[in-house]
Amino acid sequence: MIGFGPILVLRQEAGFDKGHPPSSRSEVSPMRFRSALPRLAATALLTMAALPLSGPPGAAGPTSEPPEAQTVRIALRDVATTRAAVREVHSEKPFELVGLTWRGPAPDRVEVRTRTSEGWGPWIPLEAEEGGSQPMWTGRSNDVQVRADKRGQDITEQLQFIGIDPGRQAVPPEISTPVAGAPPVVTRAQWGADESKMTWPVEPTSTKAAVVHHTAGTNDYTCDESARIVRGIYQYHAVELGWGDIGYHALVDKCGTVFEGRTGGFAGEVIGGHVRGFNDHTFGISMMGHHDAVTPSAQTVRSVADVVAWKLKTKGVPADGTTRLLSAAPQGSKYPAGTEVTLPTIFGHRDAAYTACPGKSGYDQLGSIRSQAYDAQRAPGR
């Protein structure tokens, strides 16, 4: 695939299409954008204006070459299934983040579990959308079990397993403040983004609201692993799902560290790929972890509030306001194309789509995020 960085493919099966991500104003798959070379030329100046942030002189960051991500792809139809309709995948090469892709409609249920030195872990549900599941951080492992069904029938043979080793940086990233007045952030260069994989043609927008997500998967990670998780999500979104970049504009870990996401999306205003039908005019920020039963940390909530307060204030948008957005989602969505919806200027993914995101406990924190963002917008010197 032209434009992608080095990838170790242990098993590549034909017949698996990339997903159709919600990553454009017209909600068309970026796979079509990649074949539209004239559009790339038309967006050249915008792309240059929306280059990733770079840290200040002397700021610590990755080595001159970003870590090399290695991907394992295994078609589950080639993996034996048990009587319990479970497929067990073994990879000779270890992975740290997993996902599942497919063609056509999403399964009703997708669950995975990994094996550690203590045995098999608990089954963890992955949210499923058209083309692929949300990724899950597993930590280092070689074995995973998968089960999935549609209308009560096993459909694991239709899935492809994706295992990603995001590589390791020689120098841990540091936080910097490359944009005056913005909260501190770990830039793409600092967390080790391989920019050769950024194939999405940048599209401008004007920000009217912020959308809060969670990455789902697991909360079982350390903050020292956060940059690797972001690189893994980037690899999964940009390459495995075919989106051409990471979907979120920003991500926040359990320690409150903010990571720059989509190219040009932190300092500038570009369309992301985070809420189908409402990517135009919204800024997507994702809490790293699964926040259904687990409440986001106070540090996470504070950082999300600080980022969205700053981002919305740059456009004169109040954190406690409402806005009207026009859906571009397909039929069958919560709000089909052409529907005008009034939403808070800070809302959750589930407010605009049929999804559990950002999880029950994450959604319950929206009131606190809004109030803290409101206070931040009115603080002296902000």
Tens digits of residue pLDDT in 138-149: 999 999 999 999
Residue whose structure tokens are 């002296």: 380
Per-residue pLDDT reduced to its tens digit, 250-295:
999 999 999 999 999 999 999 999 999 999 999 999 999 999 999 9
- CATH no. of 70-165: 2.60.120
Domains of the chain by residue range:
30-61+172-378, 70-165
Lowest-confidence segment of 8-17, 51-60, 99-108, 153-162 by average pLDDT: 8-17
- Domains 30-61+172-378 and 70-165 equal at CATH topology level: no
Q: Please give the single-letter amino acid code of residue 147.
A: R
**The predicted structure's pLDDT at residue 46:** 46
Q: What is the pTM of this model?
A: 0.86
For the packed helices 366-378 and 298-313, what is the interaxial angle rounded to 10 degrees?
50
Which one is the CATH code of 30-61+172-378: 3.40.80.10, 3.40.50.2300, 3.10.105.10, 3.40.30.10? 3.40.80.10
Per-residue pLDDT reduced to its tens digit, 283-341:
999 999 999 999 999 999 999 999 999 999 999 999 999 999 999 999 889 999 999 99
Task: Give Dmax over CA atoms of the chain in angstroms.
Answer: 64
CA nearest 265: which of 46, 23, 52, 29?
52
Per-residue pLDDT reduced to its tens digit, 328-376:
999 889 999 999 999 999 999 999 999 999 999 999 999 999 999 999 9
The chain-wide mean pLDDT, for the chain, equals 86
Cβ distance 328 to 353 under 8 Å? no
Q: Cis omega before residue 56 (within 30°)?
A: no
